[in-house]
Amino acid sequence: MNPKRKQRLYLMLFLLLVAGGITALLIQISGENMNMFYPPSDVVSGKAPVGENLRAGGMVQNGSVLRSESDLGVTFVLTDHKGADFTVRYTGILPDLFREGQGILVEGQLNQAGVFEATEVLAKHDENYMPPELMELQGEMPERKPGPMPGFPGTAQDSPRVTMGSAYDS
């Protein structure tokens, strides 16, 4: 092999090694910081692991929101309206669009008692927006089409929206 080729071969090997190393790091670190999403049925059935960071979601059950009287503690129940539901405990400010009956996401850990200790509560930003994780859930439920707005026939379904910042208001 002539020296020039040899040099090029070494360079290529070196680059491959570096690229391989970076890829391995990427996979490793993203694996450590990845949150799986679980619907209510998985949380109830025990498919969601206890004591690990994860995401769950569901609809806020009507009448289930209980505020503490001394601080910002709150508990509420998330349900899929098909018999699976679980309690969420959270301390902090709920997003603007947190309402009963609305689909929301919670991030945090499930404890031994089956209560979800949320570190973050995410709701949709806008009336027409549904977190993608919950779209399937809603699809299985009795369809609730966004009705046409008053004086505004037939266009509410696909109104395009742009907003900014995080994926969810939190």
Partner 1 sequence: MIPELGNFALVLASVLALGGAGLGLYAPREPVLQSGVLSMVFGQWAFSFVAFTALIYAFVVDDFSVSYVANQSNSLLPWYYKVSAAWGGHEGSFLLWILIMGTWMLAFALRSDQYPDRFTTRVLGVLSLLNLGFICFALFTSNPFLRLIPLSPADGADLNPLLQDFGLIVHPPLLYAGYVGLAIPFAMAVAALLEGRVDATWARWCRTWANMAWALLTCGIALGSWWAYYELGWGGWWFWDPVENASFMPWLAATALVHSLSVTENRGTFKSWTLLLAITAFSFSLLGAFIVRSGVLTSVHSFAVDPERGMYILTFLALVVGGSLSLYAARAGQNTAKVGYEVLSREFFMLVNNVIMVVSLAVVLWGTLAPIGYEAITGGRISIGTPFFNAFFVPLGLMLLGALALVPVLNWKRTRAQVLASVYQALGVSVLLGGLIWFALDPASLLVAGAVGLSVWVVLTHARQLWFRLGKGSVPAAYIGMTLAHLGFAMGTAGISITATQSVESDVRMSPQSSIVLAGQQVTFTGVIDVLGPNYGAQQGIFIVTDGDRSYELRPEKRQYFAGGNTMTEAGISAGFLADTYISLGEPLEGGAWAVRAHYKPLVRWVWLGALLMAFGGILAVFDKRYARQRRRQEARQGEVTLS
Joined together, the tokens standing for residue 83 give 């018999």
Toward partner 1, which CB reaches closer, 67 or 82?
Answer: 67
The CB-of-95 to partner 1 minimum distance in angstroms stands at 9
Give the 3-state secondary structure of residue 164.
Answer: coil
Least CB distance from residue 168 to partner 1, whole Å? 7
Of 17 and 167, nearer to partner 1 (C-beta) is 167
26: left (phi over 0), alpha (psi -120 to 50) or beta: alpha
Q: Which two tokens stand for residue 64?
A: 């289930």
Q: Which is nearer to partner 1, 91 or 111 (CB)?
A: 91
**CB 91 within 8 Å of CB 119:** no
Structure tokens at 63: 């009448």
Tokens for 24, please give them. 């391995």
Q: Is 42 helix (H, G, I), strand (E, B) or coil?
A: helix
Between 37 and 89, CB nearer to partner 1 = 37
For residue 90, the SS3 value is strand
| Nearest CB to partner 1, comparing residues 2 and 166 | 166
Question: Where along the sequence are the contacts to partner 1 (CB under 8 A)?
Answer: 22, 25-26, 29-30, 32-37, 55, 67, 69-72, 92-94, 96-98, 107, 125-127, 129, 131-133, 149, 151-156, 158-170
CB 103, min distance to partner 1, A: 13
Task: Write down the least CB distance from residue 112 to partner 1, Å.
Answer: 24
Q: Strand, helix or coil at 66?
A: strand
Shortest Cβ 12–partner 1 spacing (Å): 15
Q: Are 66 and 74 in contact (CB under 8 A)?
A: yes
